[in-house]
Structure 1
């Protein structure tokens, strides 16, 4: 039931046929008793249209997906540190005459990783993290990884190395520059990765390759994986991409992509509603989310 007091939220992007964000947010509204509705605003011309029609409609906030995250950041007059540092946002909030940009991608990713195995982000461990891709998602995730490594390093000495493997070298250099060109962050090549297979313990795939509706080959060679690796592919539809299937064949650990979808969505819900999500709501949404994804196979 909706009324004149119902607050409108939604998601911007194109294409959005695969999105589960409305399902997540509307379930959270229902569980929390919040008078809100979350809609799909699918259009490939948002950069031309702009945000004014949404604001005039009374929309209170939107999630933003590829390929609009950098554009979303440019539309805001109030930005969070992650958005400012990386020039990319996945959340816009329209409040008090302001357009506020927030990036919850990194928060969702780091929560997914630490809940799986906290050692994967231990700055004292002399292992390497490999980031595949240099787009908006990679930017948000790398910012939060940087913050986590610094926060958990008592002597400010970070032993763990992070490397970026991407087709767009200039975008990779831009990410490094945005983070202050730290000595623990490097740009690598496919050939170098294959030589350093044993030095990695966490691989994070941030590109849309493997997502339903997207073609192309993963940047990383499928022969790369071993049982000593953990693969976190942020693609969640399908539940298992070809990259995940190859890694599983080699007995690598897998962090499901839908975990990031869940946790970044929870953070967005909290920002939208100015409230804290209860653990029982999160558990309920996770089990229903997995059921929904399995039904789409």
Structure 2
């Protein structure tokens, strides 16, 4: 039941035929009793249309997905630190002016912390391997940087983060946006294989393994052991070839859809200025999993 008091939220992007965001947000509105609805605003012309129609409609906030995250950042008169570093935003809050926030990295960090907070503990002399240097890698590294630097001064951070990617320019941008920290280093495949025992967390951020995207997994069975935790942020399919390889070697797995789940939870909290209860999160997770299984 909707009334004149029902708040409107939604998602901007193109295409949006397979978006799972309405499942996340409408379920949370229902569980929390918050009087709101979450709609799909699919259009390939948002850059030309602009924010006017949404503001006229009284929309209070939107999630933003490809290809509009960089554009969304430029629409705001207030931006969060993560958006500034990434020059991209996945959330716009339209309550007093336009506020741009990026919850992608927060979603990823929460996924990791839920599994094992030691994986981002700066006092542990282990390495994190990040595969890829695109927008997702940027967001994840920003949140990891905040976690490491909030708990340990730069010179006392024992944990290292190694970046393996082909795009040298993108890696330079990441390094500069984080202030060229001493704990962040570029690496090579040969060095990764030599130092595999030093890694405890591997984060895969490239599209390889995604439904409809070709290419062989970046790492193979020579790399993984039961001491590794793999976080492949691809969630369609639920298990990529990389995940299957790691599972065979008894590595721990953080499901890719957890990043989608937790970035959405953070958006809900920003939209409603309230805290999501654990039982709501578990319910949303079960619905997400059910919907993803249908899409095999």
TM-score (structure 2 length as normaliser): 0.92
CA deviations 1:94-125 (Å, max 9, x no partner) are 122x1111111121111111111111111122
**1:201 offset after TM fit, Å?**
1.3
Compared with structure 1, are the counterparts of its residues 273 and 220 closer, same or farther at alpha carbon in structure 2 (3 Å cutoff)?
same
Unaligned runs of 5+ in 2: none
Does 2:201 match 1:215? no
Distance 1:194 1:74, change over 3 A: farther
Q: Which residue of 1 aligns with 2:20?
A: 20
SS of 1:23 mapped into structure 2 = helix
* Residues 168, 57 of structure 1: alpha-carbon distance in 2 compared, 3 angstrom cutoff: farther
Describe how 1:130-279 pairs up with structure 2 within 5 A: 130-153=129-152, 157-212=156-211, 214-217=212-215, 220-223=218-221, 224-279=223-278
Shifted more, 262-271 versus 163-172: the winner is 163-172
Tell me how far apart the structure 1 counterparts of residues 209 and 43 of structure 2 sit (CA, whole Å): 22
Q: Matched residue of 1:260: which SS?
A: helix
Instruction: After TM superposition, give the deviation of residue 218 of structure 1 in Å.
Output: 5.6
1:25 is displaced (CA, Å) by: 0.2
Q: 2: distance between equivalents of 1:249 and 1:190?
A: 21
* Structure 1 stretches of 4+ moved >6 Å: none
Measure, in 2, the Cα distance between the counterparts of 1:45 and 1:3. 30
Preserved contact between residue 217 and residue 241 of structure 2 (Cα < 8 Å): no
Q: Give me the whole-angstrom Cα distance separating, in 1, the residues matched to 2:45 and 2:186.
A: 33
Q: Unaligned regions of 5+ residues in structure 1, if any?
A: none
Counterpart contact for 1:126–1:160, Cα < 8 Å? yes
Q: 8 Å contact 1:206–1:235 — kept in the other structure?
A: yes
Change in 2 beyond 3 A, CA 1:130/1:287? same
Please give the per-residue CA displacement for 1:120-141, whole angstroms capped at 9, x wherever unaligned. 1111222111112222222221
- Kindly state the Cα deviation for residue 177 of structure 1 after the two structures are TM-superposed: 0.3
CA distance in 1, matches of 2:261, 2:51: 26
SS of match in other structure, 1:95: coil
RMSD of the alignment, in Å?
A: 1.9
Task: Tell me which moved more, 42-51 or 32-41.
Answer: 42-51
| Pair 1:50–1:167, CA change in 2 (3 A) | farther
Cα distance in 1 between the residues matched to 2:14 and 2:189: 30
Worse-superposed segment, 169-178 or 15-24: 15-24
Pairing of 1:121-132 with structure 2 (within 5 A)? 121-132=120-131
Distance 2:99 2:194 in 1: 44
Shift of residue 154, structure 1, vs aligned partner: 6.5
- Is the counterpart of residue 57 in structure 1 residue 57 in structure 2? yes
Residues 1:34 and 2:34 are matched in the alignment: yes
Shift of 1:161: 0.7
Cα distance in 2, alignment partners of residues 208 and 44 from structure 1: 22
**CA separation in 2, counterparts of 1:247 and 1:64?**
32
Contact residue 238 and residue 292 of structure 2 kept, 8 A: yes
Distance 2:224 2:44 in 1: 36
Q: Answer with 150-159 or 178-187: which moved more.
A: 150-159
SS at match of 1:222: coil
